[in-house]
Structure 1
Amino acid sequence: CTDPVMVNTVAPVWDGNETWLVLGGAGLLAAFPQAYATILSALYLPLMLMLAGLIWRGVAFEFRFKADEHHKPFWDKAFTWGSYIATMAQGMALGGFIDGFELSETGSFAGGALDWLTPFSVFTGVSLVIAYALLGATWLVMKTEGPLQAQMRRLARGMTIALIAAIALVSVWTPLAHEEVAARWFVLPNLLFFLPVPILVGITAWGLLNATHGQSHSSPFLLALVLLFLGYSGLGISLWPMIIPPSVTIWQAAAPPQSMGFALVGALFIIPFILMYTAWSYYVFRGKVKSGDGYH
């Protein structure tokens, strides 16, 4: 990430993601404490790698603005590798979550420290790198112009094809490896709920490829968001209602009603403010970023 224009497109808004990370962890603890305890115990290593990558990326992002020309390439590489590590670790954690967890009779995690490390989790890690590369490319299509934008359009086309291939392989691999997922997919009426997802994925991917060939600036990014939403929706439908696959449902892992009510009140108070200031920041820094524009 050596082009300053690329960095400046996200400089005003990138650190807002930390808010959602903290809110997600706190919300999981408040609403589903058993899931919080089990998932973090089982996925401790990939989640720590993800946090380390995010910290390193954040440090590199800020330091590159202050570094001289001699040291700036180092911080560019640090930002790049921090992003790769965080994304790969997040994807492997997702794969480990889909694979499920070994639980004791008391419901606590009874597996090993490396149970999450499987060929499937490695593939989901690579798939998430592809997905985020697609989001990044389409974001730059929306925020830049000229040769850089043209380069990102070409990259977005390649990443779209790669992501569709990854989604297809995960869609085949998951039911073959997990009988309970296959049972949810191919039994009525579940099939009726799941069937629209691959159809919508195909339509969205076709629209995204067309958008990258056209002149639209925002459509590729919006369609990429829809594509990722559909991918996660398919996973959600596949695992529902399990929050600790393969055996603990959201109702079994839920906190007492009093705790849930307290968390709901807090969420109803906090989330609208987060959404408002996030929307406002994106509105203020809308439009194209050109060479010479800066945030710091």
Structure 2
Amino acid sequence: STGRYVWDTVFFIGSISAAFFQGVMLGALVQGLKASNRLYSGGPFDWLTPFAIMCGIAVIIGYALLGSTWLIIKTEHKLQVWARKVSGWLLMALILAMIVVTIFMYFSDIKALEGWFSFPGILYLAPMPIIVVLLFYFMRKDLSSEREYRPFLLTVALFLMGYIGVCFAIFPYIVPYQMTIYEAAAADTSLSFMLIGAGIMLPIILSYTAFAYYTFKGKSNHEPMY
């Protein structure tokens, strides 16, 4: 129906936009923000750089890979075969995107590279390229097999490798490369109050999330409802 087509289109555009701008914000953060006297001093579009845009595209591809590998777990027969095929394409696209992002970082003179290639950071990060290559290898192998859960878990591991790289690049800054986490930390009393709130709310959030996954357990099929 027309209404369903409109809502599907709006949902698609909204999802793509959210993923893209998450990547753009991450790219802008890694590239660094202009600040003086603890205030942003850059222009309104300083965040819109080729590197940030490429990060946005890479995040779209990464999220799409998460979705397609999740479909492998939740579906069967023809739809699962389609999800495996799409996951293979997205995996190749993600490899290409990661290479392009790395090239952009090198030619954009981003300070994050100093954290990666300076001592002792380079010692901690040295095994990561090997780990990433192994993750890609097993991912490619699993997509042509009958494994269902491991492709999704390997994709999560790829994201984890990316997060570790970002943390090493910008630590200890919270506003790269202007303000450290120690300079931006709130007072001890405020942090203690937040800890109590997190201690109460976190188990509640984990509980209803687990209940939602339990409710929708199993595979989806051609039936319109669970």
Matches within 5 A, 1:85-96: 85-96=17-28
C-alpha separation between the residues in 1 aligned to 2:211 and 2:25?
Answer: 32
1:148 partner letter: L
Q: Which runs of no fewer than 5 residues in structure 2 stay unpaired?
A: none
Whole-Å Cα distance in 1 between the matches of residues 148 and 224 of structure 2? Answer: 19
- Report the AA paired with residue 57 of structure 2: V
Q: Aligned equivalents of 2:99 and 2:58: distance in 1?
A: 11
Residue of structure 2 aligned with 1:76, choices 5, 8, 16: 8
**Alpha-carbon distance, 1:115 to partner:** 0.9
- Residues 242 and 249 in structure 1, CA contact (< 8 A), matched pair in contact too: yes
Alignment of 1:238-277 (within 5 A): 238-277=169-208
Identity percentage of aligned residues: 36
In structure 1, the residue matched to 2:56 is: 125
Residue 229 of structure 1 aligns to a residue whose secondary structure is: helix
- Map 1:204-215 → 2, pairs under 5 A: 204-215=135-146
Residue 210 of structure 2 is aligned with which of 253, 259, 279? 279
Q: Does 1:163 align with 2:127?
A: no
For the residues of structure 1 that align with 2:135 and 2:100, how far apart are their CA atoms? 18
Report the counterpart of residue 98 of structure 1 in structure 2.
Answer: 30
Q: Which runs of 5+ in 1 are unaligned?
A: 1-68
What's the secondary structure of 2:174's corresponding residue? strand
Q: Is the 8 A contact 2:34 2:41 kept in 1?
A: yes
Q: Please report the TM-score for the alignment, with normalisation by the length of structure 1.
A: 0.73
Shift of 1:70: 3.3
Q: Write the distance in 2 (CA, Å) between the matches of 1:284 and 1:108.
A: 46
Matched-pair contact (CA < 8 Å) for 1:92–1:125: yes
Name the count of aligned residue pairs.
226
User: Do the aligned residues in 2 keep the contact of 1:167 with 1:231 (CA within 8 Å)?
Assistant: no
**Separation of aligned partners in 1, 2:105 and 2:189:** 37
CA RMSD of aligned residues (A): 1.5
Runs of 4 or more above 6 Å deviation: none
Is contact 2:30–2:112 with CA below 8 Å preserved after alignment?
no
TM superposition shift of 1:285: 1.4
Is 1:192 matched up with 2:123? yes
- TM-score, normalization: structure 2? 0.94
Deviation, structure 1 residue 242: 1.1
Mapped pair 1:216 → 2:155: no
